[in-house]
Structure 1
Amino acid sequence: MARADLLLALVKSGAGQDDLAFRRAAEALIAEEEAKKHRVLAKQLSEALNRRRPTGAAVPSMARAKSNDGLVHEREPQRRLHDLVLPKLVHQQCAELIEEHYRRDLLRSHGVEPRHRMLFVGPPGGGKTSLAEAIATELAMPFLTVRYESLIGSFLGETASRMDALFAATRVRPCVLFFDEFDAVAKERGDTHETGEIKRVVSSLLLQIDKLPSHVIVIAATNHAELLDRAVWRRMQIRVELPEPTRAGKMEWLSSWSSRTGMNFGIAARTIAERLQDVSYAELEEFALDVQRRSILDGIDSDTTEITRRLLTQWTKRAGADIS
């Protein structure tokens, strides 16, 4: 049976002729039935909702909502929050969001929705994608990454149309919707070098994000916060800053990775962190995987210490070449 708070919100918004509130409550109800695997009922509710057309609003059909033409890449998330090395404040921000969604019934009983719009800012390879995936894992939600090569079209109005299809397909199910390199589609509209089409796309995108129900968690990530439209900052309820990895952070990551995989580098984590001082967390993970691959291929008699030393030399030269 549907939760009492959703039914109450549905009746109140319908009686008050609040179309947006009615649609959000209905979509939350549909998403809950989807999560319970009541797919026949969810489909019936979706079809009934899409037959209801508020004045001046075009409601996408169920067929269009289900056909997103490869606009997102969906995968089951694997990373956990405790697998990541995060500043205390960032961990607290994410833990609070997760708690809000687990206790959303209590919040809704007071007429409050959990927060569901986040902005991650930080350098490349700093863990933005991993953190978004970890939040999806903790909430047991599918992880959807927006595919810009499918979203952005070359013809007038094509991108906005595809964006409508994207949001129509995601708003009726609980999920984490991840926009990597968000500045690609949410650039400052005051930039004189941008076309009118791009500015219309940004306006449409922000309006669509505003209309999303709280069971769709939108996470936008960027390496270039200065390029984002100013309205983006206002819409994002939680702003997370991921700094460059420190030596201590790298040591913690290496120790955690060894514990999870059972892989012993044969060299102290401090030494590795000092030698790889210019790499990101993403690159550090690639280094660790390189050691693991080589150890597996060399067999049970492999010398892990020697493998780690050899790869450290290669990675140190590579890091120096990347900087120069």
Structure 2
Amino acid sequence: MARADLLLALVKSGAGADDLAFRRAAEALIAEEEAKKHGVLANQLTDALTRRRPQNSASKVTSLTRVEGVAALLHEREPERQISDLVLPGMVRQQCADLLEEHHRRDLLRSHGVEPRHRILFVGPPGGGKTSLAEAIATELAVPLLTVRYEGLIGSFLGETAARMDTLFSAVRVRPCVLFFDEFDAVAKERGDTHETGEIKRVVSSLLLQIDKLPSHVIVIAATNHSELLDRAVWRRMQVRVELPQPTRAGKIEWLKAWSARTGLDFGLSVRTIADRLPHVSYAELEEFALDVQRKTILSGPDASGRSATQQLLEQWNKRAGADTNEP
């Protein structure tokens, strides 16, 4: 049965001829049915909402699985990582806990006329865990992770990108999900930059307007390595701003311990020694190193020495780091 607050909002907005409020309430209702796996009813509601509007309406709403060309705009997958799998600063972990509580208890908030926050900005260096944290939030909320594919979104002709953007946002707004924009500065650059074309500026304006109109069951997470390039309006729209710094020595030790416990991998060296010998790696690189050790140990047979594999790979990684440092 549909939630009472959604039905009440639907009736009130319809009686008051508030078209925007009616559409948002209807979209939230469709999203609820999608989440309950009531696909037939969700499609019927979607069709009814679509027929309610003129066929040339820019805000036409259709189901994600039925939107033509949407596969080129989004990569969808079921998330697996959990918050507990990640090494996070205390403040970041608290920010995530607060956000998740708002969405788990959204009925209470809505009974007071308040929506949970759903626009988040992740800032940090490459490999710092931004993508992993977006996936973990999707896991905790039991919703799919939808990653925007810029190669499908950005067009070469005037107005093409805005049209594709309409398709993308119309598709996602009727289902609970995490909509993830990696390298957000690629599409949300500062409009005051004199080197950017007028088309890019129009794209940024259209993107921000689309994000503003999304209902709260669509959690938008934008990630960037270059926060200084973002348009100033982006900062105003993001309700939660999360900074993910480079891993500390203690953070790397904690990560290696957790990895060893989860996988059963014996590195053969203390995790403190490994952390000290990999001083400048990100969490993504640390995971790559651990996987390298795991592969080498498996391929070396049942009597393989984890210590030998770890030492050999530490030498290779240090040589690679030295080569990277010496590059012009």
C-alpha deviation, 1:11, in angstroms? 1.4
Distance verdict in 2 for CA 1:61–1:241, change over 3 Å: closer
| Contact kept? 1:185, 1:202, Cα under 8 Å | yes
Q: CA deviation at 1:63?
A: 7.2
Q: Displacement, 1:22?
A: 1.3
Work out whether residues 188 and 229 of structure 1, in 8 Å CA contact, stay in contact via their aligned partners in 2. yes
Mapping of residues 143-182 of structure 1, within 5 Å: 143-182=145-184
Taking a change above 3 Å as real, the CA distance of residues 4 and 61 of structure 1, as seen in their structure-2 partners, is: closer
Q: 1:313 aligns with which of 299, 312, 315?
A: 315
Stretch of structure 1 that moved more, 58-67 or 215-224: 58-67
Query: 1:1-324 to 2 correspondence within 5 Å?
Result: 1-53=1-53, 58-60=58-60, 62=62, 66-67=67-68, 68-324=70-326
Partner Cα separation in structure 2 for residue 19 and residue 271 of structure 1: 62
CA distance in 2, matches of 1:322, 1:281: 18
CA offsets per residue over residues 90-147 of structure 1, 9 Å max, x none?
Answer: 0011111111111111111111111111000000000000000000001111011100
Displacement of 1:57 in angstroms is: 5.3
Provide structure 2 residue ranges, at least 5 long, that are not aligned to the other structure.
Answer: none
Quote the Cα distance in structure 2 between the aligned partners of 1:206 and 1:63: 22
CA contact (8 A) 1:176 1:219 kept: yes
Aligned-partner residue type, residue 114 of structure 2: V
In structure 2, relative to structure 1, the CA distance for the partners of 1:72 and 1:254 (3 Å cut) is same
Tell me if the contact between 1:254 and 1:269 (Cα under 8 Å) persists in the aligned partners.
yes
1:306 and 1:271 mapped to 2: Cα distance?
14
**1:248-299 superposed Cα distances (whole Å, 9 cap, x missing partner):** 0000000000011011101011110010011100000000000000001011
Shift of 1:15: 2.1
User: Matches of 1:222 and 1:111 in 2, distance apart?
Assistant: 32
8 Å contact from structure 1 (residues 50, 59) kept in 2: no
The number of equivalent residue pairs is 323
Q: Report if the CA contact (8 A) 2:153-2:161 is conserved.
A: yes
Q: Distance in 2 between matches of 1:320 and 1:16?
A: 68
For residue 58 of structure 1, report the CA deviation from its aligned partner. Answer: 3.0
Match for 1:17: what amino acid?
Answer: A
Q: State the distance in 2 between where 1:184 and 1:204 align.
A: 14
Identity %: 78
How far residue 37 of structure 1 moved from its aligned partner, in angstroms, is 1.1
Deviation at 1:19, TM superposition (A): 1.7
* Structure-2 change in CA distance of 1:304 and 1:249 (3 Å): same
**Matched residues in 2 for 1:144 and 1:306: separation?**
40
Amino acid in the other structure paired with 1:66: V
Separation (CA, whole Å) in 1 of partners of 2:238 and 2:295: 40
TM-fit CA distance, 1:318: 1.1
Q: Deviations over 1:191-217 (max 9, x none)?
A: 000000000000000000000011100
On the 8 A contact 1:279/1:319 being kept in 2, the answer is no
Which amino acid in 1 is paired with 2:145? F
Q: Matches of 2:284 and 2:291 in 1, distance apart?
A: 11
Is the contact made by 1:151 and 1:163 (CA closer than 8 Å) also made in structure 2? yes
Cα RMSD (Å): 1.4
Decide whether the 8 Å contact of 2:63 with 2:171 is kept in 1: no
Does the 8 Å CA contact 2:257/2:271 hold for their aligned counterparts? yes
Structure 1 stretch displaced more, 113-122 or 63-72: 63-72
